[in-house]
Structure 1
Amino acid sequence: MNLAHVVIRQEAEGEYVVGDPASGNFIVVPEVGARLVELFAAGRTVEEAAADVERETGESIDAADFAQVLLESGVARETEEQHQWAISKVPTWLVKPFFGPVAWTVYAACLVVTLVMFVVEPSLRPTYEDTFVFPDIVLSLVVTNVVVILLTFLHESWHAFAGAAVGVPSRLRLERRGIFPVLETDLSGLWALPPVRRYGPFLAGMAVDSVVLFLAVGPRYAWSRGWIDLPPLLIRILAMVVLSQVAKLAFQTLAYLRTDMYLVMATATGCGNLHQVTRLSLKRLVRRLTPDEETVLSTAHTQDLRVARWYRLLYVAGLIWMIWFAIHFIVPSAKVTFGWAFGVLIQAPALSLYWWEGFALLAFTSLNVFLPLGVAIRNRRRATA
């Protein structure tokens, strides 16, 4: 069992985070567990480590069972082999300037100036109609989704670059947050760092989103003031980008969905399992919990329980916002596209080019609407496997 790579950091009184920054596997252990990890890393056998701990504490401990936990959690390795994701190979010196004091000042200024432009010129604020850049609905949705995907990769790449700037590797995965399918950058290795060093990687995606939003709103603001002349098509494309970025930034504030701001808040408050504790405390108000769920609450850390008392208000507010967003943006745009697609399929000659265009639009829109359900089913199957 190889533990030379493991880092140990005290998280709270009597609690330690131990894990492998390269794989992103971390667990929280008591002080005696951290001591066992130190002994294992120093080359002690299971029997020797157990004997050392018993001499130091006067209590016997099942070191073999603890060693098995380390292996099953992925913290310990059977060999020296270490997998590194491609993004971890980005040199720190190359990306570090993008996350220094000057860079963060630029990110904040972009967001503040954009908000001022929204206040001064309300017509720049996004509406669901901004999705339809072209008269051709299919072309509009294709272009919009391509742009959204590219900007999403930019958002997640900025998380990864910020992680690389502090020496933490990362990987991308498809997840679900409420009704939204999302790409997520796994930066579990950040938990090996002191809290103050985690904020930059957590906020990096929103930072670059603020820059893109500013670059989309700025030209439209100048055009609205008559300072510059822009082609109508470019104005519509910029409006579509604004809608995408505003939705993305607003989404990240939904802390109840374990978004970027949730990670910031959990770190700031020193919580380890705030989301689950809050969700179960709310669930208990409306229905009976399972024995396992009751165990989670009864054994929850006091800090998680304390913060959950007011965090529940943000949780409920986020649910309400998500419903409002679905009603005012997702449902209207889906209604337009589904209506157009069904109309084409009914009226156009079967298997004609126009008919296939309607079929493609129907399939494309269905994917966007039902993908969150598919991700939820996948996660449920993985959890019960």
Structure 2
Amino acid sequence: MSLTLNSTLSMVPIEIRKDNKRYIIEDQTSGEFFEMPEVCIDAISMICKGEQLGDIERVLKRNYPDEDVDLLDFAQQLIELDLIDKIDGNKVEIQHKAKAKLGFIWISPRIGKFFFNHFTYLLYGAVFIINIILFLLHPSLFPRHDDIFVFDIMVINLIFWMVFTFLFVLIHELGHVLAMRAHNLPTKLEIGHRMFFVVLLTDMSSVWKLTPKDRNVLFLAGLCFDSVLLFISLIVQLMFPNGHWFIIGLMNLAVFDAVLRVIYQCCFYMKTDLYFVFENITGCYNLMEMAKQTISKKFSFFKSKSSEEVVFSEEIKTVFLYSIFYFLGVIITIVLYIIYFIPEIIYAGKQLLPGFAQPPTSLQFWDALIFSLQVSIFIILLLYSWWKKYRLNKM
């Protein structure tokens, strides 16, 4: 089946929505979304009316003199995106991609709206500001590197920290899920990773059905729940400064986890929630890919293997601004390592090393041995993950 300027095309069922700067096209068969400029939308509109590609090209060249209009190339791109159903009446063979199976539809939108409405938006904002004020008034509340060591036995500390962190991550993701359900959108939870951290991720692919303003609420929903948890932890510490050691240790760990989670969101070199908010506000999507592409052209030592991204002239300043945030995120990570993670390792080492000098019948010996084995397994898995990623990049 060959394309010519005399060809007419039929498209698969699609829905077009106006976005910040361009338009979002939803493939209603596969559930995938694509961003396109106005000239492409006009082309699609005329394609749907059954006009020939040559006629469409002449009209668009007249209406968009500054655009490089090539309808044969554009039609080929639509075919590759599986958006073309027929060419000159002949069926196009499409590799049908099934829609991702999303769930949580058993959660009523009313429940979602209970947690995310105009009143709660103000409440979450107020809680966030109060948390900052509490830290300014009581600097001693700010987390310290030894807050994760609630118990004297390191193995119990590690297990307790992993379980505690998982629960906090689950609550964070629950915020995203409830925000999605508030707009009656399905979703699901997936396991992913950020650098060497295993994380839960909420599938938010259907947010493109919403306006940019509503999308921001969904992106910030996890941080809203984090702010509430942080507020509760700070208030408990202030109300019971001389409380039971376990409760105080638990609240210290909660503050540690919540604060670092918020700071971590500022690491824009990863696709964090705040990264998506920034992307959404600017209307400049695929920012990370475009920034890496720009940086790789400026610095020969930074090689980007991602596919070539088209950077429009009006996006250059936004990409440059994001590149600054990108490097700031790297600096934030280094600072976190210096202030928290490296001192934690040193502290753990000081607690564990004497245990190896104890007899095998002692609790200290087995605590040091089991903890070291746990850390070793984690490091081996991490090195394997990096090696596997390196091999894929070399292919």
**Equivalent AA in structure 1 for residue 258 of structure 2:** Q
d(CA) in 2 for partners of 1:355, 1:22: 60
Matches within 5 A, 1:260-271: 260-271=273-284
> Alpha-carbon deviations, 1:266-325, whole Å to 9, x = none?
1111111211222333333331676976944xx322233221222222222211110110
d(CA) in 2 for partners of 1:69, 1:363: 48
d(CA) in 2 for partners of 1:10, 1:334: 50
d(CA) in 2 for partners of 1:21, 1:168: 15
**Equivalent AA in structure 2 for residue 360 of structure 1:** I
Question: Normalising by the residue count of structure 1, what TM-score does the alignment of the two structures yield?
Answer: 0.80
d(CA) in 1 for partners of 2:52, 2:171: 50
d(CA) in 1 for partners of 2:307, 2:100: 37
d(CA) in 2 for partners of 1:132, 1:17: 48
Task: Return the offset for 1:12.
Answer: 6.0
Is residue 285 of structure 1 aligned with residue 286 of structure 2? no
In the alignment, which of 7, 19, 22 is matched to residue 15 of structure 2?
A: 7
**Residue of structure 1 in register with 2:212 after alignment:** 195
d(CA) in 1 for partners of 2:177, 2:94: 24
**Equivalent AA in structure 1 for residue 187 of structure 2:** S
Is residue 97 of structure 1 aligned with residue 114 of structure 2? yes
Is residue 19 of structure 1 aligned with residue 26 of structure 2? yes
Is residue 211 of structure 1 aligned with residue 218 of structure 2? no
In the alignment, which of 288, 300, 305 is matched to residue 316 of structure 2?
A: 305
d(CA) in 2 for partners of 1:284, 1:80: 35
d(CA) in 2 for partners of 1:120, 1:291: 45
Native 8 Å contact 1:253 1:261 kept in 2: yes
Task: Return the offset for 1:384.
Answer: 7.2
Q: 1:261 to 1:360 in 2, by over 3 A?
A: same
**Equivalent AA in structure 2 for residue 185 of structure 1:** T
SS in 2 for 1:90: coil
In the alignment, which of 95, 110, 116 is matched to residue 133 of structure 2?
A: 116
Task: Return the offset for 1:18.
Answer: 1.9
Native 8 Å contact 2:147 2:249 kept in 1: yes
**Residue of structure 2 in register with 1:160 after alignment:** 177
**Residue of structure 2 in register with 1:259 after alignment:** 272
Q: 1:242 to 1:79 in 2, by over 3 A?
A: same
Is residue 70 of structure 1 aligned with residue 87 of structure 2? no
Task: Return the offset for 1:135.
Answer: 1.3
Q: Identity, % of aligned pairs?
A: 24
d(CA) in 1 for partners of 2:266, 2:154: 30
SS in 2 for 1:256: coil
Native 8 Å contact 2:16 2:25 kept in 1: yes
Long gaps (5+) in structure 1: 43-47
**Residue of structure 1 in register with 2:262 after alignment:** 249
Native 8 Å contact 2:233 2:255 kept in 1: yes
Instruction: Identify the range of structure 1 (194-203 vs 365-374) with the bigger mean alpha-carbon deviation.
Output: 365-374
d(CA) in 1 for partners of 2:233, 2:30: 37
SS in 2 for 1:18: strand
Matches within 5 A, 1:332-351: 332-338=343-349, 340-341=351-352, 343-345=354-356, 347-349=358-360
**Equivalent AA in structure 2 for residue 325 of structure 1:** L
Native 8 Å contact 1:99 1:162 kept in 2: yes
**Equivalent AA in structure 1 for residue 18 of structure 2:** Q
Is residue 361 of structure 1 aligned with residue 361 of structure 2? no
Q: 1:382 to 1:174 in 2, by over 3 A?
A: farther
Task: Return the offset for 1:178.
Answer: 4.3
Task: Return the offset for 1:179.
Answer: 5.1
d(CA) in 2 for partners of 1:26, 1:374: 34
Matches within 5 A, 1:21-40: 25-29=32-36, 34=41
> Alpha-carbon deviations, 1:207-259, whole Å to 9, x = none?
000000001110111234xxxx6212101110011000000011112223221
> Alpha-carbon deviations, 1:25-69, whole Å to 9, x = none?
3223455755787799x8xxxxx95x5555555586475762342
Native 8 Å contact 2:229 2:258 kept in 1: yes
d(CA) in 2 for partners of 1:239, 1:288: 42
d(CA) in 1 for partners of 2:377, 2:46: 52
In the alignment, which of 158, 163, 173 is matched to residue 190 of structure 2?
A: 173
Native 8 Å contact 1:344 1:358 kept in 2: yes
SS in 2 for 1:183: strand
Q: 1:304 to 1:286 in 2, by over 3 A?
A: same
Task: Return the offset for 1:265.
Answer: 0.9
Instruction: Identify the range of structure 1 (58-67 vs 141-150) with the bigger mean alpha-carbon deviation.
Output: 58-67
Task: Return the offset for 1:184.
Answer: 2.3
d(CA) in 2 for partners of 1:334, 1:370: 17
**Residue of structure 1 in register with 2:62 after alignment:** none
RMSD after superposition: 3.6
**Equivalent AA in structure 2 for residue 122 of structure 1:** P
Q: 1:289 to 1:369 in 2, by over 3 A?
A: closer
d(CA) in 1 for partners of 2:76, 2:293: 33
Question: Normalising by the residue count of structure 2, what TM-score does the alignment of the two structures yield?
Answer: 0.78
